Amino acid sequence: METRQQERGQGHLRTGLLDPEPVTEVDEEMVSDVDLNNTMTDEEREEILSELTKLEEEISTLRQVLASKEKHHSELKAKLGITPLSEFKQNFNKSWYDMQTSTAYKKTSETLSTAGQKTSAAFTTLGTAISRKFGDLRNSPSFKSFEEKVECTVSNIKQTKVGRQGGGGSFEEVLSSAAHASAQETPSNNMSESSDHERTC
């Protein structure tokens, strides 16, 4: 059977990969039985093992050298007074500086600055517009008329309070008596008196 498998395997080699006959289980078994270690000689194997051993020794030596260098590094830092905390601060400051000098940070900072300036300008414009509107409102005829009426009412209240014989009374009483007095006046008297007050106020 072994010779038959070998013949069959050689048949595949002769015909190549384009052989229309599918690979069977027997062929798979034959491939799995191949010992890859048989392809190298004992001398090659010994040479590889020797090289592997040398590499492991070198790695061990390098680890020892690295540990020694790290210890010496730490001792030098301690002599200079460089602690892990100060080193962390220094690294943080360097990272912060690097970030601030990066183009992304600069662009973001410029964008935020521009946005802040535009917002400030918008609030200034809004404040100016509101002030202008209040100025316009105060100069309007209706506001002037309202202001004159308030001044006349205050003047009437003061006159009524001073004119009272008791010379006293609360603000509410004076206001109530002024309102009561103006309600009793006739419309014609009211018109002539209000024009007199407007002239005097």
- Domain positions in the chain are 43-101, 104-160
What b-and-e string marks burial along 13-22, b requiring 16 or more CB atoms within 10 Å of the CB? Answer: eeeeeeeeee
- Report the alpha-carbon distance of residue 104 to residue 101 in Å, rounded: 9
Paired tokens of 63: 């680890």
Paired tokens of 185: 């006046």
pLDDT in tens, the chain (201 residues): 455 445 545 444 444 455 555 555 555 555 555 455 568 899 999 999 999 999 999 999 999 999 999 999 999 999 998 888 888 888 889 888 888 888 888 888 888 888 888 888 888 888 888 888 877 777 788 777 888 888 888 888 877 766 664 555 666 776 677 677 666 654 544 444 545 544 555
The three-state DSSP-derived secondary structure of 91-145 is HHHHHHHHHHCCHHHHHHHHHHHHHHHHHHHHHHHHHHHHHHHHHHHHHCHHHHH
